[in-house]
Amino acid sequence: MTNSNGEYSFDDLADGEYVVEVGEIDDDLELSTAGSYEVEVEDGETVSGASFGFEEPATTCEADAGTIELDGSDDAFCFGSQIEVDADFDSPGAGYAYAFLLVGEDDKIEDVSFNGTLDALESPGEYQVYGLSYDTGEVSTPNVGSELDDVLEGDCWDLSDPIEVTIVSSVQISLDIECDENTGIYTLTASFSGGMPEYAVENGGDPDDFFYNVFGDINGQYTVDEDVSVELAENASYSITAVDMTGCSDEVADTPPACSKTAVEFMGLNGRVEAVGNYLYWATASESNNSHFEVERSLDGMNFTSIDKVEAVGNSTVLSLYEFTDFEAPAGTAYYRIAAIDFDGKVDQSNILMLERETGHFGITHIAPIPATEQITVSFNTHYTGQMTITVVDVAGKMIKVLELETNKGLNQVGIDVSEYSSGVYFLNLTDGNEVSTKRFVVE
C-alpha cells in the first residue's frame, strides 16, 4: 500500500510478482491514475516510487436556465415600455446568478435585467429575449453593448430558448390648426404615425390591416398618415387619443389660439389720383363691433403712418361704402391701406394700394406727425438735384434751426429732431435760393 501521497517503498521482499495499491487518499483529492499496478521483485531489490497521481475532484456545472415566458400575451412592445419576463428554473444555489437578456442584431446585448423587467428603448425591429443561468466564477457578468458569444466564453452556463419580440416606435398624433377669421371657426386636422401600423407597413404589411383606434373630438379607425379634419368653434378646447393594437398610445389636449371672427369683411381698397389729392374708396360686406377706420400712408410700402380717421357703421350685414381724399398726397409714389379697429382694439387691415402722382411744383407737401413731440418728417418736391435750405422759426420770428441738405429731383424727405423745442406753433421754410415754401407745424 502507498502512503497518502501515492509514494511507496518495500524492502526484503522475496523475488516474485506483486501488486501495489493506493492506500488512503485525502478527502479533497481524487486519483488521476490507475489505483494499482504490478511490480516484479528480483534478487531482493527494494521497490519504491510515486507512480500514482492525484487531483482535485472535477466540479459539476449546475447552471439551469429553465424556460422563460412573457408576462402577458403580446409580443410587440411600444418604445419606452417594459418587457416583463418570467422564468421557471431550478436554482443551483450560491455562486450562480440568473439574468434576462434582450438581444438585437449581431447578437448584441441591448438590455440586461436581474429581476425580469427589460426596457424597450431600442430602435424599431425584431429582438430576442433569453434567460441565462451562470456560475459567477466562470462567466463574466453580461453587460449592455456586449456580444452574447463573448459572454458565453466561460465554462459553466445555460441559455434558455429565445422568445421573439418586436419593438415599435411610439404612437404620435400630428396636428395642424387653421383659423377662418371670416367665420370664427378653426379646422383641426390630425394624422397618426408610429406604433405597429407604421412598423407593419414599412415591413410589407397591408395598411388596411393595421390601424389606430381614435377617440375624443375625432372618433374612428385610421391608417398610418391618414388625415382627418374636424371643425371646432372659437376658443373650444380639444382632446384626441390614438391607440394601436399593441396598446401604444398618444394623447393631445389643448385650447388653440383664439380664432376670432374679424370685425370687418373688406371688399377691397381702391383709389385714383385727382387734382386735389389722392382719392381712396373701399367697401365692407359686413361689420361686427367695428369702431372706426384709420387711413394709413407710406412712401416705401413698408412703414405706414396713420394720416386720418374715418367713422365706421359699426355693425352691419349689408354692403357699406367709404371714401377719403388725401389732400396732402405727396408727389411720386404713395402707398395706402385701411386699418379697421374694433371696440376691443383688434385691428384688421385691407389690401395695400399704390398711387403715382407726377412730380409737382417746388414746395413742402407734408409734415408729420402734427402735433409732434420727438421728431417731424418733412416731405417736399424740388425741380432739380441740388442744395436746399430749411429754416425753422417760432411765432415771434426767432430763428430756431437752419439745415443745409443735398436733394434729388422730385420727392424728398428729411427728419428733424424737435424733442427740445418748447410747446407751440412753428413755421418751416424751404428755399432753393429762388423759391420759398412755408408750412406750419405744432410741437406739444
Judged against a pLDDT cut of 90, whether residue 274 lies above it is answered with no
Cβ-proximal residues to 253 (8 Å cutoff; 6+ apart), any chain: 216, 237, 238, 239, 240
What average pLDDT score do residues 258-268 get? 78
Q: Which pTM value belongs to this model?
A: 0.51
Q: In what order do the strands lie in the sheet with 185-193?
A: 172-180, 185-193, 228-232
Q: What is 67-168's CATH number, 1.20.1740, 2.60.40, 2.40.50, 1.10.287?
A: 2.60.40
Residue-averaged pLDDT of the chain = 88
CA 180, CA 231: separation in Å to the nearest integer? 10
Report pLDDT for 330: 80
pLDDT digits (tens, 9 = 90+) for 35-92: 677 777 777 677 666 666 666 665 689 999 999 999 987 899 999 899 999 999 998 8
Exposure of 382 by Cβ count < 10 A (0-12 exposed, 13-18 middle, 19+ buried)? buried
Judged against a pLDDT cut of 80, whether residue 28 lies above it is answered with no
Label residue 345 left, alpha or beta by phi (over 0 means left) and psi (-120 to 50 means alpha): left
The number of beta carbons lying within 10 Å of the beta carbon of residue 208 is 8
**Contacts of 414-419 spanning 24+ positions with Cβ under 8 A:** 414/377, 414/378, 414/390, 415/375, 415/376, 415/377, 415/378, 416/375, 416/376, 416/378, 416/390, 416/392, 417/374, 417/375, 418/372, 418/373, 418/374, 418/375, 418/376, 418/443, 419/373, 419/374, 419/375
Q: Do 198 and 108 contact (CB within 8 A), yes or no?
A: no
What average pLDDT score do residues 233-245 get? 88
Task: pLDDT band for 281, please (50, 70, 90 cuts).
Answer: very high
Report pLDDT for 121: 83
Task: pLDDT band for 19, please (50, 70, 90 cuts).
Answer: confident
Q: Do 222 and 214 contact (CB within 8 A), yes or no?
A: yes
Cβ-proximal residues to 40 (8 Å cutoff; 6+ apart), any chain: 16, 17, 18
CA 388, CA 118: separation in Å to the nearest integer? 84
Exposure of 164 by Cβ count < 10 A (0-12 exposed, 13-18 middle, 19+ buried)? exposed
Report pLDDT for 2: 60
Q: What are residue 71's phi and psi, to 5 degrees?
A: -85, 80
The residue whose grid cell reads 422563460 is: 68
Q: Are strands 30-31 and 47-49 parallel, antiparallel or unpaired?
A: unpaired
CA 270, CA 282: separation in Å to the nearest integer? 6
With CA atoms as reference, report the closest residue to 351 among 338, 361, 363, 341.
338
pLDDT digits (tens, 9 = 90+) for 224-238: 989 999 988 767 889
Q: What is 264-357's CATH number, 2.40.50.1070, 2.60.40.10, 1.10.10.10, 3.50.50.60?
A: 2.60.40.10
Region of poorest pLDDT, from 178-187, 206-215, 371-380, 428-437: 178-187
Exposure of 185 by Cβ count < 10 A (0-12 exposed, 13-18 middle, 19+ buried)? middle
How many CA atoms does the CB half-sphere of 29 hold within 13 Å?
15
Judged against a pLDDT cut of 70, whether residue 359 lies above it is answered with no
In CATH terms, are 264-357 and 363-443 the same topology? Answer: yes
Task: pLDDT band for 241, please (50, 70, 90 cuts).
Answer: very high
What average pLDDT score do residues 389-395 get? 94
Residues shown for the chain: 444
The residue whose grid cell reads 391618414 is: 226
Separation in Å, CA 410 to CA 357, 370, 381, 383, 407: 11, 23, 5, 6, 9
For the chain, domain boundaries: 8-55, 67-168, 173-194+215-254, 264-357, 363-443
Judged against a pLDDT cut of 60, whether residue 1 lies above it is answered with no
Q: Which three cell numbers stand for residue 106?
A: 449581431
| Architecture per CATH, 363-443 | Sandwich (2.60)
Region of poorest pLDDT, from 144-153, 177-186, 340-349, 378-387: 177-186
Judged against a pLDDT cut of 60, whether residue 202 lies above it is answered with yes
* The residue type at 341: I
